[in-house]
Structure 1
Amino acid sequence: MEQRLVILGGGESGVGTAILGKKKGYDVFVSDFGKIKNNYKEVLGLHGIKWEEEKHTEDLILNADLVMKSPGIPDKSPMVKKLLEKGIQVISEIEFAIQYTKALTVGITGSNGKTTTTMLTYHLLKQGGVNVGLAGNIGKSFAWQVADDKHDVYVLELSSFQLDGIIDYKPHIAIITNISPDHLDRYDYDYGKYIAAKFRITENQTEEDFLIYDADDEAIGNWLKMNKTKAQLVPFSMTKTFENGAFATEENINININNEEFVMPQDKLALEGKHNVKNAMAASTVAQLLRIRKSTIRESLSDFQGVEHRLEKVLKIQNVQYVNDSKATNVNAAFYALDSMNTPTVWIVGGVDKGNDYAELMPLVREKVKAIICLGIDNKKIIDAFGDVVDEMIEAQSMTDAVKLAQRMSEKGDTVLLSPACASFDLFESYEDRGRQFKQAVQNL
């Protein structure tokens, strides 16, 4: 009797899991409460996989032996509750796929910096000649790549939602870039639960595995004081030095692993800003552990192109620099963006607030921001927080308006920064859509 695999969510991770499940002999069914994109329907059809959209038919779901749910579906959703009540195992794509590959994985999580660190790690390993795949929250689904069986190493960007759905998965090398309050709506507004979710990345690691982490991060430090992991700890820091780990001095980043020393001048890094020094330390530590040549690491750190929608320089118009940081969907990410500004800044901010506390941005806003444009349906919280701090504050309902206003409010030598600190779903489809609309509006000026 074939085992029945039901997949909730017909997006990239769902379809990838369906293909791998089918290949491994499961009876597969995909159910999406929303619409499934046409290209995915075609792929499912080609593989002879049954699917439904805009509904969850209980009779076709509650007879599952195993369920993979997309990370976007909360544990509190009625269907997931029913499955758990029936004792049916609900896992993530990563947990399902890992059992079918012998590849080594590098798992990267954190509230911010994880995409940049993941892309940079992938870049370092690829340039170093490793047969490496990129998956998780980015790019082509991990399960899909495992079905095609292509890579020796995978670099995986893992959200806390993906980590919630793991049982046995363990990365050989784990990175926690940092932890700050985010997505608390999914964790009963309990920061402790969110922190615990992030640390699931290391819960199955053994003495042969490694945990790379930010030693300057308070939440990480507290967790490590109170809890144990078997993994070998490899810290990185801007302020402390380590015999085994990575650290920054005035000029350089230094990485000491197994008595091997790697040194690189900070001013040779392609990416600007203190947080990117940390991202570079984390990624280079992986490259060192996997024995990539030092000259290759240096070269790759200096030619890395960066990530779209993450402090991406768009255009300079009349000597005003426009910067797209649409990926900044929380306060901590906006903090990094403002911190890296060296000119007076017109800041475009707002969207769907995830329980944000804007207080920590106050010193940076006072120091760097000359004007604020609120781009959201409900901007009350932002206006209350910064109304008295900046010279000008104005609301916009569309990206075109926001960018035109920004042009009017800026003068030579300024920067216009889109760094919303909020989710995008009130006015846009996604942070990518928001970033693309910003770039389009700038190009139309």
Structure 2
Amino acid sequence: MFFWRMIGRALRRQVSKRLMIAATIMLGSCLTTSMLAVMLDVSDKVQAELGSFGANIQVLPQGASIVSDMYEVDSSASTGSLREDELPNLKTIFWAHNIEDFAPFLNVTATSGGQAVPVVGTWFDHSMTATTGEQVVTGIDNLRDWWQITGSWASGDDQVMAGSRLASQFGWQPGDTVTLATENGEVQASIAGVFQSGSDEDKQLFVPLAMAQQLAARPGEVGRVEVRAITTPNNELAERAARDPSTLSIDEWETWYCTAYVSSIAYQIDEAMSNAAAKPVRQVADTEGVILGKTQLIMSVVAIFAMVAAALGIANLVTASVMERSKEVGLMKALGARNKSIVGLILTETFAVALIGGLAGFGLGIGLAQLVGHLVFGSGITIRPIVAPLMALVILLTVVVGCLPSMRYLLRLQPAQVLHGR
């Protein structure tokens, strides 16, 4: 009881220093809380932002080869095709919920007005029922959300979308009707919109998949599938598995298979579809991991520097406070108080002040994290439950480290020197 009375009396003295300690902790914990909250939620945010890069997995028939442009396939190397009726199987794999969007593609060359037209059949906004009973809406309206469109997205079975360079070549405008012909017949379609992608897709005409299958006389067939999946950044295990999964031990294989690496998701797609070879689109998958890693590193460094600065501030303030109370401490030692009791007294005082500052900083940090989320990502930050205990541990360590210089001073203080003014 006497101990706590001493704590209460001590807190009522040196109010300005107590407030400065609380403010130092508050600022440090505010910045650290916000960085920690954003860092723990940044993976999903960065994945969403990087979705503008398009698909990060491409599924081809076995034996097909990917050429330099990820949206073109060397059809002469193909040894078959994929089955359209197997596409719902993508939502049955272990990481089905990580597959955000996917779309099939089928290339065919048609003619219009005697000129060749590169035609790409696909899904624009397609609804289907997976074998699990889940209703799935997918298509290129999400996979190509960076397209700049004049007009609108195609929505009907006879509506198509023309690339800007192709439309300029033929003089097409939204609302025009075009006739496409192959040796298998001809179809008429209405141009719903003209898009600009900044790639060779601007020279292509995108049509409903069924229309391309009709022109190519390939009912139910697909040339390739692009998949956009939420993935975990690669590590050494994922790199080894990507080269040859058979080299992994049983434990390593289970860890890899049950982690959302891009290579493990691609492997599971191979299992779910026949004659399929799913490959990560390296320039997208690798970029995601690098950007995410650097973003988390920057936030970690900022959080560490914030608490180091807070620890230095506490060290100066507590040491100054202890030096002002050196006669009081010397008298306590002269009366028989042990070093550990005095150290405990000073630490308890500092922890009490730090608790107030830490709680205020934690609340402000949550608000700052939400502000960062809305300014940078356009949405709020999901606060993980682990943030609170982690911040409590960080504040505890910061106070202990900040109090070390004053503890060293207390242990070396001699009662005779301070009481006799030496």
After TM superposition, the score normalised by the length of structure 1 is: 0.18
Name the structure, 1 or 2, with higher relative contact order (CA <8 Å, separation 6+).
2
Structure 1 or 2, whichever has the larger Rg, is: 2
After TM superposition, the score normalised by the length of structure 2 is: 0.19
